[in-house]
Amino acid sequence: MSNADNTNLFWDSCVLIRWLTGSPKDHVNDIDQYIQEAKAKKRRIYISTILFAEVRSSFLKNKDFGTIFDLLNDFKSAFYPINPTPDIMSRAGQLRDLSFTKGDAKPRVVGTADAIHLMTCLHLRDELGVSDIVLHTFDEGKGKNWEGKCVPILGFEDWCEGNKDKELVKRVIDLPRVKPSHLSPELDLKDA
């Protein structure tokens, strides 16, 4: 997927966590620039409210926010939180019910939080008419969680053997999903 410089972005929790912790350092300046542009009303950054459960208090210390609510109050002009509706949650369950394969690899499922993020972004695009939405994430399926190794958000289409004809899977495949690399990065003199 190309990294179009769209006005409307949807962030997986890992994007905000990377900015908050500054680790790893790649893309942190890009993320900061996106936030500054959103605060200046040059773009919108949508987030799912499940982010509140994924962002731990320890992640906030580098940026001097006491709570996630302090962060959101400070960035209320930048972030547009979307609550998971019953429709979003039931579609997330449908997506999670599928088994995904890629070549000889063990079958995987879509992680719970990832399914909710994907369905929230599709809800924005297909139900609320935000046609130029792009999902920013770093999820390449390399780590394990309590659900085991899950289908990655980046490269999702590579895991869809046997599922490409399913309408919900087609919608996810058609959703632009990229790392948050800014197309016009500003020089950050702190790193020079």
Per-residue pLDDT of the chain (192 residues; tens, 9 = 90+): 444 567 999 999 999 999 999 999 999 999 999 999 999 999 999 999 999 899 988 888 777 777 888 888 888 888 999 999 999 999 999 999 999 999 999 999 999 999 999 999 999 999 999 999 999 999 998 877 777 899 999 999 999 998 999 999 999 999 999 999 998 877 543 443
| Long-range contact pairs involving 154-160 (C-beta distance under 8 Å, separation at least 24) | 154/178, 154/179, 158/102, 159/100, 159/101, 159/102, 159/108, 160/100
* Secondary structure element (H or E) that encloses residue 68, with its range: helix 68-74
Structural domain boundaries enclosing 103:
8-176
- Cα of first residue to Cα of last residue in the chain, in angstroms, is 30
Does 191 fall in a domain? no
| Amino acid sitting at position 52 | F
Does 40 fall in a domain? yes
pLDDT at residue 51 in the model? 92
Residue 101's φ and ψ, nearest 5 degrees, are -130, 155
Does 34 fall in a domain? yes
Does 77 fall in a domain? yes
Q: How many domains does the chain have?
A: 1
Does 53 fall in a domain? yes
Does 124 fall in a domain? yes
CATH number at residue 105: 3.40.50.1010
Q: How many residues does the chain have?
A: 192
- Give the Cα separation of 9 and 44 in Å (integer): 6
SS3 category, 136: strand
